[in-house]
Amino acid sequence: MLLAPIVILAKTTVLSPEETEEARDERISWWREARFGMFIHWGLYAIPGGTWKDKVYKEGYSEWIMFDEKIPASEYKELAGKFNPVKFDAQAWVGIAKKAGMKYMVLTTKHHDGFSMFQSGLTPYNVADATPFKRDVTRELVDACRNDSIHFGCYYSIDRDWYRPQGQGNRYKQTNLWDYPDSKQEDYDRYFATFAKPQVEELLSKYQPDLLWFDEIDMKTDAQVKELYQTIRKLRPECVINSRIQGCRFPEKIPPPHCDYITSGDNEILEKNIGFEWENPGSMNTSYGYNPNDHNWISADEIISRLVEIVSKGGNYLLNVGPTPEGLIPQPCIERLAKVGEWMEVNGEAIYGTSASVFGDSAPPSAGNWRCTVKPGKIYLHLLNWPNDGTFELADLQSKVNRAYLLADRKELKVKQTAGGVSISLPAEAPDKIVSVICLEIADPVAKIKASK
Ligand code: H79
């Protein structure tokens, strides 16, 4: 569906007039190695948590409450006076991410509601100056991440800001028309030039983020996108940028200009490897922001299978948590992340720094429901179903297999290799009931596959 119009350009293509493939390669190498990150949606919307007056949302985006309920900015801003997350502990959050096997963290420094979750010189409407809490939570998280070797990214909603008049010339009409019905394009241009872009500059110089994660709906002109991009590159060339700097739709061309990787739709897993870095922003229930009434949690098993599927297609998984107004990561998230962490402890080497499957789209369910990731000289087979007959058949592999073992115990497995492929003998019981991983050490750095498919 989304993939049809893509044109994949040659590797040597210059990404943007100012940019080379080599520069992008160097900048994005940590991100490529990381594969799994924590997304954090935290802001004033955690206080209503999806409930406004008589209206209780049991699903949907709690961070959208201001828009959904058309709350006047003058009323919404009163939430700032109630924001006092006394249990917030940046180190504890980083610890939870680390234990889950996550390697980076992206915090909503400003979501569409327009409230800055960092101390900003451009507006007093920010977490340090407008709340009784008075602490710069972005600063604390950046420091905790740096102390623990976790890369840090800033989510920034640059096109939408419901607190400020912004113009309405966009196709979704997702701007604040209830407070500002006469707002015009000029208002957007002023907002962009005097507030949004300067705030991005402020984030870059104050916090030196490793990643800027934009969330957009195509309100910027091409000239504004370019200006933003050049500003970021000038201030911090090593900062990775996602594709929503331009817009939220899937780019028409790969590589897309002005960014380093593609963000797929919210919770959208691409159908296949697109030959370019991409990332899935996923939620654990239907909301990104905290909503105590949204019980639509996906299981830890589902998270692990999604992670394996995404990575086998060459993507990263940025999995969200929505902390409470007290400053805690919700218990259902903690429980799930702990289970994912146990799996990563055993199987992480089949995730970190790996590339997409060498077997085409890897494992349709008819082939036994398995997926594949690779590293030089290694093939990882992720078995979502355990074979009943004690053997796993892998057709089409031509490279010599030197050694095969399960990551769970590293005991050598018996391998029969013929011109037609490889047959691996397995124990009767799966070591992991969700996904067990076999490692094949092969004689070639890059696996040779029969070109039959
Ligand atoms: O930050 C999270 C979302 O709030 C944000 N992206 C993720 C990472 C996002 N912004 N826009 N969108 C997602 C797409 C808009 C979806 C909508 Fe709706 C569908 C807007 C109106 C209909 C969901 C349902 C939100 C309001 C009603």
DSSP three-state, residue 250: coil
Q: Which atom of ligand 1 lies closest to the CA of 68?
A: 26
d(CA 137, CA 105): 13
d(CA 385, CA 89): 40
DSSP three-state, residue 142: helix
> How far is C-alpha 311 from the chain's CA centre?
12
48's CB contacts (< 8 A; 6+ apart) are 62, 65, 79
Query: What pLDDT shows up at residue 121?
Result: 98
d(CA 354, CA 403): 19
Name beta bridge partners: 312: none
Whether ligand 1 lies within 6 angstroms of the CB of 61 is answered as: yes
75, containing H or E segment:
helix 73-76
Q: What is the dihedral of CA 149, 150, 153, 155, to 10 degrees?
A: -150
Whether ligand 1 lies within 6 angstroms of the CB of 288 is answered as: yes
What does the pLDDT profile of the chain (453 residues) look like in tens digits? 344 444 444 444 445 666 788 889 999 999 999 999 999 999 999 999 999 999 999 999 999 999 999 999 999 999 999 999 999 999 999 999 999 999 999 999 999 999 999 999 999 999 999 999 999 999 999 999 999 999 999 999 999 999 999 876 666 678 999 999 999 889 999 999 999 999 999 999 999 999 999 998 888 999 999 999 999 999 999 999 999 999 888 998 998 999 999 999 999 999 999 999 999 999 999 999 999 999 999 999 999 999 999 999 999 999 999 999 999 999 999 999 999 999 999 999 999 999 999 987 655 555 568 999 999 999 999 999 999 999 999 988 999 999 999 999 999 999 999 988 899 999 999 999 999 999 999 999 999 998 754
d(CA 374, CA 440): 10
364's CB contacts (< 8 A; 6+ apart) are none
Q: Out of 61, 62, 159, give the residue to mutate to test ligand 1, the one with the largest number of ligand atoms within 8 Å of its CB.
A: 61
Q: Which atom of ligand 1 lies closest to the CA of 215?
A: 6
Q: Which atom of ligand 1 lies closest to the CA of 67?
A: 26
Q: Out of 57, 266, 291, give the residue to mutate to test ligand 1, the one with the largest number of ligand atoms within 8 Å of its CB.
A: 266
Q: What global pTM score does this model have?
A: 0.95
Residue type, 137: V
d(CA 422, CA 403): 12
Return the number of other C-beta atoms located less than 10 Å from residue 296's C-beta.
12
Atom 16, ligand 1: residue with shortest CA distance: 61
Of 268, 259, 263, 225, the closest CA to residue 241 belongs to 259
d(CA 82, CA 78): 7
Of 360, 364, 373, the closest CA to residue 450 belongs to 360
Atom 21, ligand 1: residue with shortest CA distance: 174
Q: Are the C-beta atoms of residues 32 and 279 closer than 8 Å to each other?
A: no
Looking at residue 397, the DSSP 8-state letter turns out to be B
Q: Are the C-beta atoms of residues 424 and 399 closer than 8 Å to each other?
A: no
